[in-house]
Chains A and B, each alone.
Chain A
Amino acid sequence: MSIDARHVGKSFANYVALRDVDLHVEQSELVALLGPSGSGKTTLLRIIAGLDTPDPNPATSVVVDGQDILDRRGSERRVGFVFQHYALFRHMTVFENIAFGLRVRPRKQRPREPELRRKVNELLDLIQLGRWSNHYPSQLSGGQRQRVALARALAIEPSVLLLDEPFGALDAKVRQELRRWLRNLHAKIAVTSVLVTHDQEEALEVADRIVIMNQGRIEQTGTPDEVFHNPASEFVVTFLGHVNLFHGRVESNGQAARLLVRPHELDIERSASNGDSVAARVHRIQSAGPIVRVELASDQSDPITVEMTHERYRDLTIKTGETVYVKVRDARAFVAVGTAQRVNGAGA
């Protein structure tokens, strides 16, 4: 079921969390709200869930599946919510945690015990924790707890699934596994989902579409490919991964410009190529990993990071302390705020 939130604003005592934000999520889509802390992404999620109320504004609406749910209480919205710190009921077993949403239903809608057991067991199979059903949350690992939290949210057959930094409290390896698992799960059950995260890698890997937020506003919306390859603003470029910053001027009018170049969009050469390259000294080489990362120091710019393949690195045979030349292959120049220009082979 689709989500359509319009003109959502929220201010707290001393800062503004959301400034008139519009968010649209298609049926069965998995959208990631990506942004640094304080960008308003969690506030937006909590407003959709009914845990927070937006600032009063007649234009504000939160429409799920064609119905404005803004006036409904959280308990009547039927949203599945997954918390960063799991929020499992600590005094209940895994089974009872998942069954909770079914047991608190009004008597007429409450499933009978055998039906309830069948349903909870199905969910336990889905999260592959069948043999843990009689354990308490404190006896599970973080990844297991988050899977239980997800099953508990799915038990009420939610119209939408909202995930607030669901992998934020887990270590890197478990996070990786759970990401893939969530992706597969979403392919299987296709519930409309919104995932809040500050981890750009997570958003790029998991989401159908990414909404990038900054200071209470939406900076850009698009598929992972779109936001990564066609960033709409300097903020998006810098937030989606490491960038090298060069200062320069636009040749035609002499206006100051900032050139943002990703490490893999730079190349290293042994000799200067007709004025387009910057001389730099190799400071550190990190070759353990799928790519080789070279850090360089230059008098003409901030420290530079270059990423290259192992093949290229072998061909170059560079060593720490050597002076080499850095050449830009592909970059984005930002002349004024918000306008991105693709520059090919531009000088730094």
Chain B
Amino acid sequence: MTSSGRPTEPRQTEPAWMRNLFIGASVAFVGLLILLPVISVFTEAFRKGFSFYLASISDPLAMSALRLTLITAAVTLAANLVFGLAASWLIAKFSFPGRNVLLSLIDLPFAVSPVVSGLVFVLLFGAQGWFGQGRIGDFLSRHGIQIIFSTPGVILATIFVTFPFIARELIPLMQEQGADEEEAAVLLGASGWQTFRRVTLPNIRWALVYGVVLANARAMGEFGAVSVVSGHIRGRTNTLPLHVEILYNEYNFSAAFAVASLLALLALVTLVAKAALEWRIRAEERPAGMEDIA
């Protein structure tokens, strides 16, 4: 028999018709529910011709929505990178009272409907909200800072909704790796920053990037929470998903799909980045020189 450890073909015991049935069902499912909608977005977008498409996406309102979406995604990622890393480090490497409560709180945004998340911020920062009046409200209005129906509100709501992605990706990995390597680094004379930079970060970098990719996809596509806090002010507080909705509600279908195709393209870029990442991880897990051990 094969003693060389060569991977053997999975044994196929099911009859051919059954295999074909399952493969067919899967392909049909993916085609109908995923591929077809994506294709239809692009065909609808180009229905009135390429020049109309270009005009739709270069429209100042569309461009401002794109800008707001990119700004929101960038700020959200930066904030969640810091918060996610800090929270995961704390939860995975230390034990302290309230650790499980913190873990549940991190999951909260996943459990709550995005619309409710948005409403929470309206209740907090709106004109009648907790922070809308009183000392904080005075401070904000004196400095001309508006949270709700403005960019800060959009960013806050997006941070809230995407918070769990990075932390959730990191915590299991960091828990599995334990604190041994960090302890070893410290005893070898490394400072806290050196330990983080040279030992912890390299060990979690792929999970971190993966979490960022997922959080990014969600940040750019978020509709519910953002819709509640943004106030739909055209050219100012509309993100791409909100702009698509407005165009659609105005029966401006081709323009709506043209802008939607922008979102789809951004999603595709994210997906390609993720696939490239997975490919690199797999390459890294099989380092060169492996054949030396025998």
Contacts and interface: CB of A to CB of B under 8 A. Distances in A.
Interface of A: 49-51, 73-81, 83, 85, 87-91, 100-101, 104-105, 134-136, 139-140, 149, 152-153, 155-156
B287 A75 contact: no
A104 B184 contact: no
Given A78-B189, A79-B187, A134 B181 contact: no
B15 interface: no
29 contacts: A50-B187, A74-B183, A74-B186, A75-B188, A75-B189, A75-B191, A78-B189, A79-B187, A83-B180, A87-B180, A88-B184, A89-B181, A89-B198, A91-B203, A100-B185, A100-B188, A100-B198, A104-B185, A104-B189, A104-B190, A104-B191, A105-B189, A135-B289, A135-B293, A136-B287, A139-B290, A139-B292, A140-B293, A156-B188
B194 interface: yes
B184 A134 contact: no
Interface string B146-170: 0000000000000000000000000
B187 A74 contact: yes
B202 interface: yes
Interface residues of B, number: 21
A33 B170 CA distance: 37
Contacts of B184: 81, 83, 87-89, 149, 152
B217 interface: no
Most buried by B among A51, A76, A79, A140: A51
B65 to A, nearest CB: 41
Interface string B183-227: 111111111001000110011000000000000000000000000
Given A75-B191, A134-B289, A87 B203 contact: no
A87 B287 contact: no
Contacts of B292: 135, 139
B183 A90 contact: no
Contacts of A139: 287, 289-290, 292-293
B289 A87 contact: no
Nearest to A144: B293
A152 B188 contact: yes
A51 B183 contact: yes
